[in-house]
């Protein structure tokens, strides 16, 4: 009995079984990783140098920080970007709370996870605002 269901970004209908997936674009993630590394090099104060006590970063600096890459959900047929270099999770492999926890633990081992909006995805499950929502059929 599934607890959760993926909602397709294109047709807004639930994704049943193996008819679609949750995915993130690896190329975009790699770009965000590289940009973040560049940003960190530019903004890291060399070790041993005393902090001046002021603000470390200006607002404009933070604005430069690479944005989180969005996880997306699509039916195979609705995916506008089928050739993307995707990291994907088939819908029926992430339709229970236990599976969501397992995926989260697994993804936390990846150095790129915090460059994606997985945190937003988790927060949205309860409120029904994310791509992954609580199953309406569950009694």
Contacts with Zn ion by CB under 5 A lie at: 8, 10-11, 75, 78
User: Token digits for 9?
Assistant: 């970004």
Whole-angstrom distance, CA of residue 82 vs CA of residue 48: 49
DSSP H or E run through 31: helix 26-43
User: Least distance in Å: CB of 91 to Zn ion?
Assistant: 11
User: Least distance in Å: CB of 25 to Zn ion?
Assistant: 18
Nearer residue to Zn ion within complex by CB, 32 or 132 = 132
Nearer residue to Zn ion within complex by CB, 33 or 135 = 135
Whole-angstrom distance, CA of residue 72 vs CA of residue 7: 9
User: Least distance in Å: CB of 129 to Zn ion?
Assistant: 18
Q: How deeply is 42 buried, as exposed, middle or buried, from its count of CB atoms within 10 A (0-12, 13-18, 19+)?
A: exposed
Task: Single out the residue of 116, 95, 101 nearest to residue 20, CA to CA.
Answer: 95
User: Least distance in Å: CB of 70 to Zn ion?
Assistant: 16
Nearer residue to Zn ion within complex by CB, 33 or 78 = 78
Nearer residue to Zn ion within complex by CB, 32 or 130 = 130
């Amino acid at each position: 009995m599934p607890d959760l269901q993926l909602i397709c970004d294109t047709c807004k209908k639930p994704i049943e079984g193996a008819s679609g997936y949750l995915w993130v674009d690896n190329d975009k993630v790699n770009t965000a990783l590289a940009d973040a590394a560049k940003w960190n090099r530019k903004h890291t104060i060399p070790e041993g140098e005393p902090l001046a006590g002021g603000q470390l970063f200006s607002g404009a600096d933070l604005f430069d920080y690479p944005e989180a890459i969005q996880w997306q959900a699509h039916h195979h047929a609705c995916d506008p970007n089928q050739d993307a270099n995707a990291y994907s999770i088939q819908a029926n492999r992430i339709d229970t709370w236990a599976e969501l926890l397992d995926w989260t633990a697994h993804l936390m081992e990846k150095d790129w996870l915090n460059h994606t909006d997985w945190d937003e995805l988790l927060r949205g499950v309860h409120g029904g605002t994310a791509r992954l929502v609580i199953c309406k059929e569950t009694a």
